[in-house]
């Protein structure tokens, strides 16, 4: 993939590796497809799980065991979707202790006893590894939890394990393919196994889609939550940068990085988001949070009545079938009282990609080295040392693609690079002043809408990712929130719709997405088909 294509297709979002043409993976067959209906907790909500624990029908320990069995049957065997890279050896004990708390009447909140999977670039201060999918950090066990992980533990969530990702959140090579890491191997799309899961939060999205867990956490720089969520038919929220702390997360960009929730429903994603919100003195960006941040469950069935939604139809290149799905979305929104207006970006916004590229290269070097030096147990202190490790272990680490992004980032002067200041200013000007802010003000919009993704492409280790369109860049570069919800499918491959808007408008976007989800009901359970070519 050319660098320009890499940028415009939102692979800066962080995506990972892929098979050389669509073909049958070979480790399963059509006669042995495992359907979601075979699992008693398929698409079960957090509220329903809480009701079952309250009534005594299930315990947290029992729920954890059901999901561990599912992971063994579906993820490691059967279709072998390979979403989970590591199981938390303490998960069952944690669940048992939370059951004991429940017996004493101590319920921490809506996530008490609920299993959650965490993307493998997020620190957990336990026995699990944080490597960003790289063999270089294959023995790195963080000394303490990332801030958002500590918040989840306080909320009573059970950290079930860690999910595979596109190596280094896909910021290593322009020719990579989503969902592959040298530590975790290839994660597969549960809808059609030889198709991409997108990335870089590949394992988190696939795990939720395939009912390996009810909730998962991903991270995004540009598209890494919304693309895999859209392609795997689940809900993903990319919050305002600074709503969730980034401390304890292996970084790409201080300007754009954020963690975010993935779930089968908007309500569950909102519950997970609420549990992670908080001001962290280790991340200055979180100090800007408004007082009402973290309250997202005030759903209103009339939220679309009189709402003005801007349809960004030319956000990226999509085929006609995606446009047809979006027309159905528009018609449904109008039926619920929304005024949908087609809007266009100024032509100069097309220059955003080149400035984003410069910004990411400069911020990556400094941010990564800051993380490495604050985690001496990693064994590395610089990007240059990681580059050298990859060269020495090329057969294992670079068997499919190189590390030209690493090398380009290392060649910069980081935040002291003369091109960095201009790039940052232009990124904010084009994405905010002449992008989202301008559209919202000119058209008096409540939200902007665009297709999240095209249909999942074939896994291709030779040519890398072949994106069919994306709309993540504006919200990513501006640092503004976005949420993707299932909108339809093409030949059984999910297509999502994204709603995005001004900073800290998560509540409004979640309400809009929730009502759309409620009336559209487009969530499609995966069928683990080997290939569309039978």
In Å, what is the CA distance from 107 to each residue of 95, 104, 151, 385?
13, 9, 15, 47
Give the Cβ contact number of residue 335 at 10 Å: 10
Pick the catalytic residue: 200, 204, 315, 471? 200
d(CA 180, CA 94): 30
Please give the DSSP secondary-structure letter assigned to residue 284: G
Helices (H), 429-524: 437-442, 473-478, 506-520
428: tokens are 């904010």
Residue 92 neighbours by CB distance under 10 Å: 17
Residue 451 β-bridge partners: 497
Residue with tokens 């944080």, as numbered in its chain: 130
Could you tell me which of 239, 238, 250, 248 has the C-alpha nearest to residue 283?
248
Q: Does the annotation mark 200 as catalytic?
A: yes
CB 122 within 8 A of CB 130: yes
Identify whether the C-beta of residue 266 lies closer than 8 Å to the C-beta of residue 514: yes
81: three-class secondary structure by DSSP: coil
Specify the 3-state DSSP secondary structure of 344. coil
Return the structure tokens found at 407: 């090398």
Instruction: Reply yes or no on whether 52 is catalytic.
Output: no
Radius of gyration of the chain measured on its C-alpha atoms: 21
Distance from C-alpha of 18 to C-alpha of 197, rounded to nearest angstrom = 9
CB of 330 closer than 8 Å to CB of 299: no
Overall residue count recorded for the chain in this entry: 534
What three-state secondary structure class fits 247? Answer: coil
Query: 372 CB contacts (<8 Å, ≥6 apart)?
Result: 378, 380, 381, 382
CB 264 within 8 A of CB 212: no
60, 119, 134, 482: the catalytic one is: 119
User: Of 178, 204, 224, 498, which is the active-site residue?
Assistant: 224
Does residue 308 sit in helix, strand or coil?
strand
Residue 116, beta-bridge partner list: 159, 215
**Joined tokens for residue 444:** 């008096």
Known catalytic residue at 18: no
Which positions ≥6 away from 227 have C-beta within 8 Å?
10, 13, 15, 198, 199, 452, 453, 470, 472
- Which residue numbers are catalytic? 119, 200, 224
């Amino acid at each position: 993939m050319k660098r320009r294509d890499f940028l415009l297709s939102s692979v800066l979002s962080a995506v990972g590796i892929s098979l050389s043409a669509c073909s049958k993976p070979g480790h399963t067959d059509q006669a042995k497809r495992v359907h979601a209906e075979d699992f008693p907790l398929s698409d079960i909500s957090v509220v329903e799980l809480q009701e079952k624990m309250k009534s005594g029908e299930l315990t947290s320990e029992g729920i954890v065991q059901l999901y561990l069995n599912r992971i063994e049957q579906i993820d490691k065997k059967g279709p072998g979707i390979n979403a989970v890279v590591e199981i938390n050896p303490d998960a069952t004990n944690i669940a048992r202790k939370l059951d004991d708390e429940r017996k004493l009447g101590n319920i921490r909140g809506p996530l008490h006893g609920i299993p959650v999977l965490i993307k493998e670039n997020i620190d957990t201060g336990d026995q699990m590894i944080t490597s960003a999918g790289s063999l270089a950090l294959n023995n790195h066990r963080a000394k303490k939890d990332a801030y958002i992980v500590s918040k989840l533990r306080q909320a009573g969530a059970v950290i079930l394990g860690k999910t595979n990702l596109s190596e280094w959140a896909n910021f290593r090579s322009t020719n990579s393919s989503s969902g592959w890491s040298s530590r975790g191997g290839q994660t597969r799309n549960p809808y059609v196994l030889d198709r991409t899961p997108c990335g870089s939060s590949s394992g988190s999205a696939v795990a939720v889609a395939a009912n390996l867990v009810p909730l998962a956490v991903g991270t995004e720089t540009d598209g890494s939550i919304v693309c895999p969520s859209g392609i795997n038919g689940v809900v993903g929220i990319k919050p305002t940068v600074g709503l969730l702390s980034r401390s304890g997360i292996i970084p790409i960009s201080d300007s754009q990085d954020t963690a975010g929730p993935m779930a089968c429903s908007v309500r569950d994603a909102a519950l997970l988001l609420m549990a992670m919100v908080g001001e962290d003195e280790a991340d200055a960006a979180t100090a800007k949070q408004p007082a009402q941040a973290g309250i997202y469950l005030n759903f209103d069935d009339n939220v679309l009545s009189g709402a003005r939604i801007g349809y960004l139809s030319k956000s990226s290149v999509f085929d006609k079938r995606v446009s047809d799905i979006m027309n159905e979305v528009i018609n449904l929104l109008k039926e619920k009282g929304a005024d949908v207006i087609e809007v266009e970006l100024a032509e100069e916004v097309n220059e955003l990609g080149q400035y984003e590229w410069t910004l990411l290269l400069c911020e990556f070097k400094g941010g990564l080295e800051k993380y490495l030096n604050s985690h001496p147990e990693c064994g590395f202190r610089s990007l240059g040392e990681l580059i050298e490790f990859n060269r020495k272990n090329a057969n294992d680490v670079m068997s499919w693609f190189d590390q030209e992004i690493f090398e380009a980032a290392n060649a910069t002067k980081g935040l002291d690079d003369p091109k960095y200041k201009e790039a940052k200013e232009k990124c904010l000007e084009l994405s905010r002043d002449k992008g989202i802010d301008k559209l919202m003000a000119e058209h008096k919009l409540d939200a902007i809408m665009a297709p999240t993704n095209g249909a999942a492409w074939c896994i291709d280790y030779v040519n890398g990712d072949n994106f069919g369109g994306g709309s993540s860049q504006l919200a990513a570069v501006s640092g503004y929130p976005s949420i993707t919800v299932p909108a339809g499918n093409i030949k059984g491959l999910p297509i999502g719709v994204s709603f995005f808007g001004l900073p800290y408008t998560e509540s409004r976007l979640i309400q809009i997405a929730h009502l759309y989800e409620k009336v559209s009901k487009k969530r499609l359970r995966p069928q683990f088909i080997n290939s569309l070519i039978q």
